[in-house]
Structure 1
Amino acid sequence: MGSATIKQSFATLEQANTAVQALTEAGIAKDALRIWAREDEAGPVSGNFAVGNGATTDSGFNDPARPGYGTTYQGNFDRPVARGTVLLLAAGLDEGQERIARDVLSGMDGTDLSAS
């Protein structure tokens, strides 16, 4: 068993699961892979609040190209931003497995945190 570790963050659990499937199809053992959500749906993802973000003024949400978006309340729900809330860890990889895993993950919509 090797000692290389790869850390990759994804915006959604679906993206992380897709990465796990691609890694296992490429020959990486499933028991070398771990995923977990660092935040849950109750966490404040920017612009995606269940009851608004508390803005009491227009705050630049007025966009003439978007009818109805001139009000503060509607603007509170505008432009949601997905953050890297799901972490994938590939651990104990030998040199060949690490190379394969990095090649697979380079084509995914994640952020490599291994150098961090």
Structure 2
Amino acid sequence: MINHAVMGVFDAFDTAQQARAALLADGFGADALELKVHDDEAGPVEGNFLVGNTPVESEEHVYERNYARPVQRGQCMLMVNAADAATAARASAILAGFGARDPDRLSGAPP
């Protein structure tokens, strides 16, 4: 029976995959790990994908320059189902080592 769940939020899928690999290497079973990627069809939550980098259209309007560097935020969630508090703490430390953010802290939920 699973008593504890730990979740980490990542901006980059590659980083989430690395954290998952580290958890597996540390002895966590694949059945205890769940990696979800949430992609928004509306586009990045931060960036310039609608208006571009330059306010004025011109012949010099180049797509790569004007729509560069959109940022996806919090797309990847890695959940670890742990059987006890010590295992959950171990998972939290591994996730933190890869820069995972706590979704409760992101939402402003009380601890």
**TM-score (ref. length: structure 1):** 0.68
Number of matched pairs: 102
3-state SS in 1 of match to 2:101: strand
**TM-fit CA distance, 1:30:** 1.6
Gaps of 5+ in 2: none
Report the equivalent of 2:81: 91
Distance 1:21 1:56, change over 3 A: closer
Greater shift, 72-81 or 98-107, is seen at 72-81
Aligned letter for 2:85?
E
- The amino acid across from 2:75 in the alignment is T
Q: How much identity, in percent, do the aligned residues show?
A: 26
- Spell out, residue by residue over 1:55-80, the C-alpha distance to the aligned partner (whole angstroms, 9 max, x if none): 389349xxxxxxxxx74855541332
Separation in 2, partners of 1:93, 1:85: 26
- Does structure 2 retain, via aligned residues, the 8 Å contact 1:32–1:93? no
Q: TM-score, normalised by structure 2?
A: 0.71
**Counterpart among 60, 69, 78 of residue 79 in structure 1:** 69
* 1:32/1:74 CA distance change after superposition, 3 Å: closer
Please state which structure has a larger fraction of its residues in helix: 2
Which ranges of structure 1 fall in alignment gaps of 5 or more residues? 61-69
Q: Which amino acid aligns with 1:38?
A: H
Q: Distance in 2 between matches of 1:109 and 1:43?
A: 26
1:106 paired to 2:96: yes
Q: Which has the larger radius of gyration?
A: 1
- Please give the per-residue CA displacement for 1:79-110, whole angstroms capped at 9, x wherever unaligned: 32231101111124312211111111111132
Give runs of aligned pairs for residues 1-116 of structure 1, distance below 5 A: 1-39=1-39, 42-45=41-44, 46-47=46-47, 49=49, 53=50, 55=51, 58-59=54-55, 71=61, 76-114=66-104, 116=109
